[in-house]
Amino acid sequence: MNENLVNFIYLIAGVLFILGIKGLTKPKTAVRGNMLSALGMLIAVVITLLNMNTIDYTYVIAGVVVGSIVGSIMALRIQMTSMPQMVALLNGFGGGASLTIALAEYYTKLGTTPASFAELLTPVVANSSAFGPGPEGTIALIAIGMTVLIGALTLTGSLVAFAKLQELMKKSYGLPGGPVGNALFVIAALVAVALVVVNPGNVAAMVAVVVLALLLGLFLVMPIGGADMPVVIALLNSYSGIAAAFAGFILGNTVLIIAGSLVGTSGLILTRIMCVAMNRSLANVLFGKMAASGEIIDADEVYAGKVTSAQPDEVAMLLENAQRVVIVPGYGMAMAQAQHAVRELADAMEAKGVEVEYGIHPVAGRMPGHMNVLLAEAEVPYDKLVEMDRINPTFEDTDVVIVIGANDVTNPMARDVEGSPIYGMPILNVDKAKTVVVIKRSLSPGFAGLPNPLFAMDHTLMVYGDGKKAVVEMTTALNQL
């Protein structure tokens, strides 16, 4: 196929990717953006296959069938509460795919296929010319080494993120020395990459890159607590894109370079936004240190004899007399699948002349934009979703704040308790409102493992129980008043 035609079609696919990402910035255009990106990828895959003169389509068709079945099952069965785990897995799959591409290209160019672990480590006589003439061969080796490094790191890091989000891994582990130990691992892995570039036949160095990168992915993510996981997911998403871009250089595929670069840069921008939202250092994210250490206040000291409970009908009377109400959703709303019930409660309040808005923290939930996605699913008007910076100054003029399952993002310890794991993280200042209603199953801590002094404040009412059930009962009682 004509190379100019192929590149032109790749350009069209790249434009569709960009338009797709732009569409994903707003709920109203998100579906269209997703379809545009998918169309761009379909065009890119089809033209790539047609441009390959010698290819056995048997394996391609088998891969498409198996992948389509697995992907369809995952998409249909996944709940919104588990979407962050799925995103983490997909990041890992992307990193793993780039890793296998790089290793396959490496051993293919060496002209050897290891049949055993011993052969995997056996040196091969080769130089960079096997990977291309002159500087081209050196660049190809650097691309292979970096793809292996970033792809392997993304794979294991994403699996750890999945395990933490799924609460399969509840403790945090790390290397002695924390970020220093991780930095040493990074240096060792880069040295191994350099050895491969200098001597392409040094397969032991390539195996060392794989092993070090896999371990690095574990050690970078394991020490990070669940409250900081949205930042980690954004960063791993960026890593998967960077690995894909390097894989594009390896294969000489323009559209893969474009797609990977877009994912890598957008993921890095999102990571930066998440860091600002949580007052975290990007350097700490990169080297696996997110939370501060310090003495944690005991829950009994915070709650003992100070918590006031209420029933849904009591809250309904408060809402009837309120002029302004702010709803603050959190992961508990997602777990209870209460987003539709929340919208119905808001509709009932607005029918009585109450001004209702939603206060959205950037990292509420388990992934960036989690609450936005849930509320958009319930067809909540987008202009009702108010970001933290804009909603915080209004809390002092708010009659009632309804907190549904949000914990860490409303915890005053982030402002007041220096040394706590969330200290310095900007929060929604719901405690400034006249009355705070917290809907929660119990006084159990959030993902950061901290008690929340908000629950024990004089103007806070705790409504215990399932979030959806409690909201439905409030709506029913309010409609009867």
Q: Which residues are catalytic?
A: 408
Q: What are phi and psi of 404, to 5 degrees?
A: -115, 95
Report yes or no: 299 and 451 within 8 Å, Cβ to Cβ.
yes
Q: Count CB neighbours of 63 within 10 A.
A: 10
Q: Measure the N-to-C terminal CA separation of the chain; round to a whole number of Å.
A: 72
Contacts of 3 (CB under 8 A, 6+ apart): none
How far is 64 from 62, CA to CA, in rounded Å? 5
CA–CA distance, 107 with 212 (Å, rounded to integer): 19
Count of all residues that appear for the chain in the document: 481
Question: Under a CB-based contact definition with an 8 Å cutoff, are residues 180 and 284 in contact?
Answer: no
Paired tokens of 406: 């949000």
Q: CA-CA distance, 221 to 209, in Å (whole number)?
A: 18
DSSP H or E stretch at residue 218: helix 203-221
**Crossing angle for the helix pair 370-377 and 83-110, nearest 10 degrees?**
120
CA–CA gap between residue 179 and residue 285 (Å, rounded): 9
| Residue found under tokens 């209702």 | 356
Alpha helices in 321-465 (DSSP H): 331-336, 339-351, 370-377, 388-391, 413-416
What string of DSSP letters covers 25-86? Answer: TSHHHHHHHHHHHHHHHHHHHHHHHHH-SS--HHHHHHHHHHHHHHHHHHHHH--GGGHHHH
